Amino acid sequence: MKKIVLSTLVVLGLSGAAFAQAATDFVAVDADASGAVTLEEAQVAWPELTAEAFAAADTDANGELSAEEYGLLASAAPAAM
């Protein structure tokens, strides 16, 4: 499972140039200050983010990214930072 997640994140990182330039730090993306980032919140920062890439970063499969999970997603897309 970890290999699949990491592979998906690498592919996401390679496509990072396609992401819009926006504030992408966890606090800025967590628009409702809930302590987690939803797919919709993440897509504001990265409009090209797919549900599949989001799900790959959502390691506990709860539908939201914790700060740690978001860090995995963000580090895979350095061009978006």
4-54 residue pLDDT tens: 655 565 555 544 444 444 578 999 999 999 999 999 999 998 899 999 999
**Beta carbons within 10 angstroms of residue 78's beta carbon:** 10
Domain ranges across the chain: 2-80
- The predicted pLDDT at position 31 comes to 94
| Phi, psi (degrees; rounded to nearest 5) at 65 | -105, 125
- The predicted pLDDT at position 24 comes to 84
The answer to whether residue 79 scores a pLDDT higher than 50 is: no
- The predicted pLDDT at position 73 comes to 86
Structure tokens at 73: 């997603």
* CATH class for the domain made up of 2-80: mainly alpha
Structure tokens at 57: 């970063």
Greater pLDDT, 76 or 20? 76
Query: pLDDT band at 1, cuts 50/70/90?
Result: low
Instruction: Give the dihedral sign, CA 63/65/68/71.
Output: positive
